[in-house]
């Protein structure tokens, strides 16, 4: 019996088999969960559907988190089909590439709005629709990055969005805690994914992160997945409002002074 046996959970944010959400999926499947997924548009449906079917998904529906009507429809279908929800994983972010490439001081109002809407507000929007389907003991997890609290070249407005996401995690934990719902964030080290390819010099960032980490390596999507499975399970029943690092210990150090 796995630690998620008998639980029904949504995993939002698979784009392909490199996605962090796919690492989470494999861990949750192994631990016995019944899983449901979203996809963003028909292009991604072609990739997401076969992956979801390979883990016997019982729920696969379209969802663009910037569209309130789609949000309402999506969660109404979850209720219709499953009746209740035991966990939800939010692994979604977006910013215009130019906003990450250009000087931070030139960030436009629209690029700021877009990054904050998709990468931070969407967690609140999902939580407000998921919570009514959850009973005490349920759990939500989102994905963040160290750029929320330290400057990281090329992360720019996404760092501001992650700061808002981490604060939102704490306020959701405060708000939903009396209902017995736990809300946590995982701060993952850099992993090569579609979203990561938008970040400045990602290759250099990965090198620096590996050398500056305590374990002298980068983390894998499976390691993030295993931590998510723990936070979603009753094993973490006393943990809420936390930003939990899965970064091989990078955040506790000062990096590697030997590398520029």
Question: Which one of residues 4, 11, 27, 40 is an interface residue with ligand NAD (CB under 6 A)?
Answer: 40
Distance CA 65, CA 76 (A): 14
Q: What element of type H or E holds 45?
A: helix 41-54
Closest CA to 156 of 200, 201, 210, 212: 200
Q: Which of 39, 121, 145, 230 is catalytic?
A: 145
Cβ atoms of 95 and 115 closer than 8 Å: yes
Supply 237's token pair: 């029943």
Which of 44, 55, 124, 239 binds ligand NAD (CB under 6 A)? It is: 44
As a whole number of angstroms, the distance between CA 244 and CA 23 comes to 16
Among 3, 10, 13, 133, indicate the residue that binds ligand NAD (CB under 6 A): 13
CA distances from 44 to 62, 67, 78, 200 (A): 10, 17, 20, 24
Nearer to ligand NAD, 1 or 252 (CB): 252
Residue of 88, 89, 191, 210 that binds ligand NAD (CB under 6 A): 191
Q: What residue spans of the chain are helical by DSSP H?
A: 20-30, 41-54, 68-82, 97-101, 109-116, 122-130, 156-176, 202-212, 221-232
Q: Tokens representing 152?
A: 């990281």
Pairing of strands 139-144, 34-39: unpaired
**Whether the Cβ atoms of residue 220 and residue 164 lie closer than 8 Å to each other:** no
Name residues contacting ligand NAD, limited to 107-126 (CB under 6 A). 118
Closest to ligand NAD by CB, 16 or 237: 16
Residue 218 in contact with ligand NAD, rule: CB under 6 A: no
Q: Among this protein's residues, is 121 annotated catalytic?
A: no
Q: What is the 3-state secondary structure (H, E, C) of 141-157?
A: EEEECHHHCCCCCCCHH
Footprint on residues 86-105 left by ligand NAD (CB under 6 A): 91-94
Can you tell me which of 112, 196, 200, 207 binds ligand NAD, judged by CB under 6 A?
Answer: 196
Based on the shown chain and the rule CB under 6 A, indicate whether residue 20 belongs to the binding site for ligand NAD: yes
Residue from 3, 4, 11, 15 touching ligand NAD (CB under 6 A): that is 15
Site for ligand NAD in 51-90 (CB under 6 A): 63-66
Among 39, 121, 155, 245, the active-site one is: 155
Does the annotation mark 155 as catalytic?
Answer: yes
Q: For ligand NAD, which is the closer residue by CB, 107 or 119?
A: 119
Q: How many residues bind ligand NAD (CB under 6 A)?
A: 27
* Whole-number Å distance between alpha carbons of 133 and 152: 38
Does 212 participate in binding ligand NAD (rule CB under 6 A)? no
Q: Is 239 helix (H, G, I), strand (E, B) or coil?
A: coil
Catalytic residues: 145, 155
- Contact residues toward ligand NAD (CB under 6 A) are 13-15, 19-21, 40, 44, 63-66, 91-94, 118, 143-145, 188, 190-191, 193-196
């Amino acid at each position: 019996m796995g630690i998620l046996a008998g639980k029904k959970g949504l995993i939002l944010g698979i784009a392909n088999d490199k996605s962090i959400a796919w690492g989470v999926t494999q861990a949750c499947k192994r631990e016995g969960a019944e899983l449901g997924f979203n996809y963003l548009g028909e292009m991604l449906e072609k990739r997401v559907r076969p992956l979801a079917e390979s883990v016997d998904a019982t729920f696969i529906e379209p969802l663009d988190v910037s569209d309130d009507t789609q949000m309402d429809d999506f969660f109404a279908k979850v209720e219709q089909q499953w009746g209740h929800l035991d966990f939800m994983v939010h692994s979604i972010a977006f910013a215009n590439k130019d906003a990450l490439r250009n000087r931070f001081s030139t960030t436009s109002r629209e690029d700021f709005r877009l990054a904050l809407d998709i990468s931070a507000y969407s967690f609140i929007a999902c939580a407000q629709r998921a919570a009514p389907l959850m009973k005490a003991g349920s759990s939500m997890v989102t994905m963040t990055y160290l750029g929320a609290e330290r400057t990281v070249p090329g992360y720019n407005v996404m760092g501001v969005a992650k700061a808002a996401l981490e604060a939102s995690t704490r306020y959701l934990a405060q708000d939903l805690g009396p209902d017995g719902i736990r809300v946590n964030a995982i701060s993952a080290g850099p992993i090569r994914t579609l979203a990561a390819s938008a970040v400045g010099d990602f290759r250099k960032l990965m090198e620096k992160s590996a050398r500056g980490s305590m374990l002298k390596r980068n983390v894998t999507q499976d390691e993030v997945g295993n931590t998510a499975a723990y936070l979603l399970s009753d094993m973490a029943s006393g943990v809420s409002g936390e930003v939990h690092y899965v970064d091989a210990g990078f955040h506790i150090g000062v990096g590697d002074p030997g590398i520029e």
